[in-house]
Amino acid sequence: MKAVCWHGTNQVNVETVPDPKILNPRDAIVKITSTAICGSDLHLYDGFNPTMKQGDILGHEFMGEIVELGSAVRNKQIGDRVVVPFTISCGSCFFCSRDLWSLCDNSNPNAWMVEQVMGHSPSGLFGYSHLTGGYAGGQAEYARVPFADVGLFKVPDELTDEQLLFLTDIFPTGYMAAENCNIQPGDTVAVWGCGPVGQFAIRSAYLLGAERVIAIDRVPERLQMAQAGGAETLNYDETEVGEALNEMTGGRGPDSVMDAVGMEAHGAGLEGFYDKAMQAVRMETDRPTVLRQAIVACRKGGTVSVPGVYTGFVDKIPMGAFMNKGLTMKTGQTHVHRYLKPLTERIQKGEIDPSFLITHRLPLEEAPHAYEIFKHKRDSCVKVVLKP
């Protein structure tokens, strides 16, 4: 089959590789009909994960049709049309049974690696380095899906791939990030980052009853898309974000703040230079520009929601502000399984149509080009869907 393989910083190739096989009784093989590139893939593309290996198959946002089932999968059938959550979860451990799917105990074969750094390991993830299991990803023609009985979600026929695909990650991610904001009537939510995750976060915050959403980025078409979703916007290249947020909220600050940017946040001026230098000499692995701003901007007693991905260490977190303002932080890889049914229903009811996000539809073969335009936000690219 054809698959998108990682070959170092800024280097992906479409290669012919062997077809995946059933390896465990609860596996299934899915023939992929649609697959996307995520902002998380850019962290790998940018070379920020030292546990990537040459030839690793990328991709964790994919859907398709079941073509083969392991002997222990009884609740699915060959031919079922399914979406695949990017988190791999067993369905029976302490965490899965408490709806904390991305914390599954039993899906990361390389848990020991993570434990060295983090103490305990989160779940395995598709196509996301050997730290999270080294599972072959879904930017390919076929993928093996472990724990298919709980992992695969059958989708309604009347909805299109483009409406359903983002159930695999970014729609639930934006939604969970908004839920984590603990939105109360009258609340204002500030969202840093108007990438795909930010876009869904904005819309989810409204679905969950926010009165106002203020979105921050500097890419014009992304800011426009945020406005189309009902947000007021701030361009951080033109505005001092903290001051503006304060003025827009009567001096109180937003009730909750969201970092939908993560560890590669773009930093301006001296602070940005400092983080780039620190990252270059590996004194710091992640650049927490947005996290710093968000903590300082948040109103007292408010919530900091962090869907943006961090993998290592950050420097100069304003812990004094965080502690003395009595803030709460909520974060995590998304518990995708938890949201599949309720969010599919919202799509069916017409409360949201996730396909608004797609700016590019390309054949799988054009993945190298797709990574380039998505990374550099060229050609007004916000989200690419690849067709195998």
Partner 1 sequence: MEENLSNQQNSAADNSNQASVGEQERLGSLIAGGAMVLMGLQQRSLRGVLMSLAGGGLAYHGMAGKKSWKDAVQGKLESATGMGQSIRVERTVTIQNQSPETLYQFWRNLENLPTVMKHLQSVTVTSPTRSHWVANLPVGDAIEWDAEIIADQENRLISWASVEAADVENSGFVRFQPSSHNRGTEVKVVMEYNPPAGIVGATFAKLFGESPDQQIADGLRHFKMLMEAGEIATTEGQPHGQR
Ligand X SMILES: NC(=O)c1ccc[n+]([C@@H]2O[C@H](COP(=O)([O-])OP(=O)(O)OC[C@H]3O[C@@H](n4cnc5c(N)ncnc54)[C@H](O)[C@@H]3O)[C@@H](O)[C@H]2O)c1
The answer to whether 178 and 189 are in contact (CB under 8 A) is yes
Residues 6+ apart with CB under 8 A from 63: 30, 32, 33, 34, 35, 81, 82, 83, 84, 155, 161, 164, 165, 168
Shortest spacing between CB 388 and partner 1, in angstroms:
14
Q: Which partner, partner 1, Zn ion, ligand X, none, binds residue 24 by CB below 5 to 8 Å per kind?
A: partner 1
The residues that touch partner 1, with contacts defined as CB under 8 A, are 1, 3, 5-7, 13, 15, 17-21, 23-26, 53-57, 72, 88, 90-94, 97, 105-109, 111-112, 124, 133-136, 144, 146-147
Report d(CA 88, CA 337) in Å as an integer: 9
Run of H or E including 243: helix 241-248
- Min dist CB 57 to partner 1, Å, is 6
| Residue choice 34, 40, 163, 305 for contact with Zn ion (CB under 5 A) | 40
C-alpha span between 302 and 322 (Å, rounded): 10
CA neighbours closer than 13 Å in the CB half-sphere of residue 225: 26
CA–CA separation, 146 and 72 (whole Å): 11
158 token code pair: 């009347």
Smaller CB separation from Zn ion, 260 or 373: 260
Select from Zn ion, partner 1, ligand X, none the partner in contact with residue 72, using the beta carbon and a kind-dependent cut-off of 5 to 8 Å: partner 1
Other C-beta atoms lying within 10 Å of the C-beta of residue 379: 12
Q: Which is nearer to partner 1, 1 or 42 (CB)?
A: 1
- The nearer residue to ligand X, 111 or 214, going by C-beta atoms, is 214
Least distance between partner 1 and beta carbon 387 (Å): 20
Nearest CB to ligand X, comparing residues 29 and 96 = 96
Segment contacting Zn ion (CB under 5 A): 51-59, 162-170, 322-330, 355-363? Answer: 162-170
- Cβ closer to partner 1: 103 or 136? 136
Q: Residue 79 CA to chain centroid, in angstroms?
A: 28
Chain residues in the site for Zn ion (CB under 5 A): 38, 40, 89-90, 93, 96, 104, 106, 169
